[in-house]
Chain A
Amino acid sequence: MNESVTLLTIFVLSVFVGIEVISKVSSTLHTPLMSGANAIHGIILLGAIIVTGSTDNAVAVVVGVVAIVLAAVNMVGGFVVTDRMLQMFTRKKPAKKVDA
């Protein structure tokens, strides 16, 4: 199979998985879910590391380093802030029933 078609197949299947996997989310969890998904796209850090590590042009390295810093903020900040939101939830839960 052609490599582009393989990637396209992965893309299309991932679209269905992405929708299916969150389709039963309760409305109280909308914001933490958004925040968690936000943290997941911080994985662009992986791409930033690869492009920065494979160039020797000074300008490109500087741009790459900026990308790494931004992506790391996204990833680490995203997961930590999501955890804080959810911590708040688990404390509040006994008082207020979560509706589906």
Chain B
Amino acid sequence: MPVWVQVAYLVCAVGFILALKGLSGPRTARTGNLIGAVAAVVGCAIPFFYLDLHHVPLILAAIVVGAAGGFVGARRVQMTQMPQMVALFNGVGGGAAALVALLELRELVAADEFAGSVPWFTLLATAFTILVGSVSFAGSVITFLKLQELMTSRPVVFPGLPVVFGLGLLAAVVLAVVTVVNPAEPVGVVLALVGLLIGVLLVLPVGGADVPIVISLLNAFTGLTVAAGGYVLGNTLLLVAGTLVGASGTFLTRLMASAMGRSVANILFGALKGGSTLG
């Protein structure tokens, strides 16, 4: 990677730090958001200038389609429906991270067969991104359905839920270990499906009033998946940006929960213990 690229990534990373700093004060919030947007656009332009990318017209077309969809969605949404819009944006981000990790797994499998021994930590980070990205995607879709009142906003609990949830977690751990020991694409795909299941089961028992806190938590999850993806790709900008969102998002989730006088564990698992999660 040329030096100018590394420096440019550093500048963008600083932009994201300033964006978060700006967003946490009322006077500076809009400027902060603007700085973040500029850093993101510059960051995404960088690979076109130093990599010999294939399929450039296709890539540009896909960016235009996605950007137009996001822009129109964000402009049209009613003020009262903004939380579910954020959930949806978060979900697609998590889904994108999982897909990137699946493609990266494919590369790693090929490299493993070719030259042998991909570091175990890289494979673990790939498995983490596939799993948690899928959790974030499915969880965000359920939060969207709840807030949009396309499904009941009351906690949904069925008798075997904790057992199925536990089995899902167990399966995820086993599949992650398999990915590290003997990487293969089908394992990654199954891991993604298990992640979708876990995401659905994680959010079903949460009541409508608590959903914003779950969105914040899933947002932090997506941040961490982006960070892990950055580690796998050896891309410092993805690593820093993802970690910033993961750390600040986790902290923010705790702040939001304590502002409601609740703990995060109580919000997530309260309904399973028989208590109400409607606050």
Residues of A within 8 A of B (CB): 3-4, 7, 10-11, 14-19, 21-57, 60-61, 63-90, 93, 98
Q: Which residue of A lies closest to B218 (CB)?
A: A38
A47–B233 contact, CB under 8 A? Answer: yes
Set of chain B residues within 8 Å of A36, measured between Cβ atoms: 19-20, 23, 29, 32-33, 36
Question: Which secondary structure dominates chain A's binding surface?
Answer: helix
Are the CB atoms of A49 and B86 closer together than 8 Å?
no
Q: Is the interface of B mostly helix, strand, loop or mixed?
A: helix
Q: Fill in one digit per residue for B86-97: 1 if any A CB lies within 8 Å of its CB, else 0.
A: 100110110111
10 further contact pairs, Cβ within 8 A, besides A15-B246, A30-B216: A22-B20, A22-B21, A26-B26, A34-B216, A36-B20, A44-B229, A45-B44, A63-B103, A69-B66, A73-B70
Q: List 30 A-B contacts (CB under 8 A).
A: A4-B119, A10-B243, A14-B239, A18-B248, A18-B251, A22-B251, A25-B252, A26-B25, A27-B259, A29-B29, A30-B216, A40-B16, A41-B97, A43-B242, A46-B235, A47-B100, A49-B48, A53-B54, A53-B59, A56-B54, A68-B59, A68-B62, A70-B93, A70-B99, A72-B70, A74-B90, A77-B89, A83-B33, A84-B74, A84-B82
Interface centre among A53, A55, A63, A77 (most CB of B within 10 A): A77
Measured between C-beta atoms, what is the minimum distance from A84 to chain B in Å? Answer: 7
Residues of B within 8 A of A19 (CB): 247-248, 251
B259 x A18 contact (CB < 8 A): no
- For the complex of A and B, list the 4 residue pairs with the smallest distance between their C-beta atoms, beginning with the closest: A72-B66, A77-B70, A53-B53, A18-B247
Given A22-B20, A37-B245, A54 contacting B51 (CB threshold 8 A) = yes
Size band of the interface chain B makes with A: 35 or more
Are A39 and B37 in contact, with the CB atoms below 8 A?
yes
Among A10, A21, A44, A68, the residue within 8 A (CB) of B248 is A21
* Contact partner, B89, options A29, A39, A61, Cβ 8 Å: A39
Known: A54-B54, A79-B40. A74 touches B93 (CB 8 A): yes
Complex contacts, B62 vs chain A, CB 8 Å = 52, 65, 68-69, 72
Tell me, yes or no, whether B71 is within 8 Å of chain A by CB.
Answer: yes
In the bound complex, residues from chain A placing their C-beta under 8 Å from that of B16 are 40, 43
Q: A38-B219, A41-B222, A44-B97 are in contact. Are A7 and B92 (CB under 8 A)?
A: no
* Pairwise interchain contact A43-B234, C-beta atoms closer than 8 A: no
